[in-house]
Every structure is written in C-alpha cells, then in structure tokens.
Structure 1
Amino acid sequence: MSTKRTETTAAKDPADWVTGDEPMTGPQESYLNTLAQEAGTDAPTDLTKAEASQKIEELQEATGRGEPAPKARKRVARKKTS
C-alpha cells in the first residue's frame, strides 16, 4: 500500500529513505513515463528511488493527478415504512 504525502500523513522524506539511492523501480519508471507524457515533457531517466518519488510528486501537481479524490458520500439506510 502506498502512502500519499498530505498535511496529515506522516510520510518519510524520500531523502531519508534507506534505499533511496537505489535505482528507481519499474513501476516508478512506468508512472513517470505516463505523467511526463501527460505533462508534455520528456521522462527523466537514471533516477534513484528518492529522486523518482520527488519527480512523480512534481509531475502529479503539473498534471492535476496529485489532487485527492473527492470524498465518497455515505449511504444512509432508510427504514422501511408499512
């Protein structure tokens, strides 16, 4: 499960990741390619996991994908009347 960085989420800064200096993962690279295409820019290559995470956040903001989804409305059970 991924953790989105929000005002209320205590997410660890990518610069502090133990594995942050390892090459970006396949899913990170794929998502970066998608976001870069949507943003009309070239996808960066040869990034570390931490750099890729930061670039993903930048491109999410640029494309509007970084905005939280609208909250779902709760369904209220109605009592049946006879």
Structure 2
Amino acid sequence: MNLFPEQGPDADTPPVCSAKGCRVPAVWVLAWNNPKLHTPERRKTWLACEEHREHLSQFLGVRGFLKDVVTLEEWSAADR
C-alpha cells in the first residue's frame, strides 16, 4: 500500500510536497488529525518540501490538527 498518495504509481518516483501546485520532492511529514472526524490515534499525513513546511504546519496548527512533524526518512523508517 502506498503511504503517500502524492507519490506516483512508479515506486522510483519520490513523494512530492502537498502544497497546492508544488511538485518539489517532499522532505517532511506532517501528521495530523481532525478530532471531530478521526479517532485520537488516527494520523493523516501531508508531505512538505523545505519551503512549505512552515506554512502547512501553521495551517494545521491554527486548527489544532497538527500532531507531529518528522522527516520523511524518519517516518518511512518507523513501522506505521
């Protein structure tokens, strides 16, 4: 199963940033959940490049959705 829907069907294609219109390879994973919709342990993910990490984090943080920000490498290494 593809953990990163932004990644193309070709496994060699790196996952890209979730920011609208950005096609830069992702470096960060922003784990979040909407407590009105998701159980507390559920984590949705957005991917971010260096340029968009702060903007996307702020967007989720203002809403109280942001739970964690880790590198894509760390996220991929963890058994999630």
TM-score for the superposition, normalised by structure 2 = 0.31
> Which of these two proteins has the greater Rg computed from alpha carbons?
1
Whichever structure has more strand as a proportion of its residues is 2
TM-score for the superposition, normalised by structure 1 = 0.30
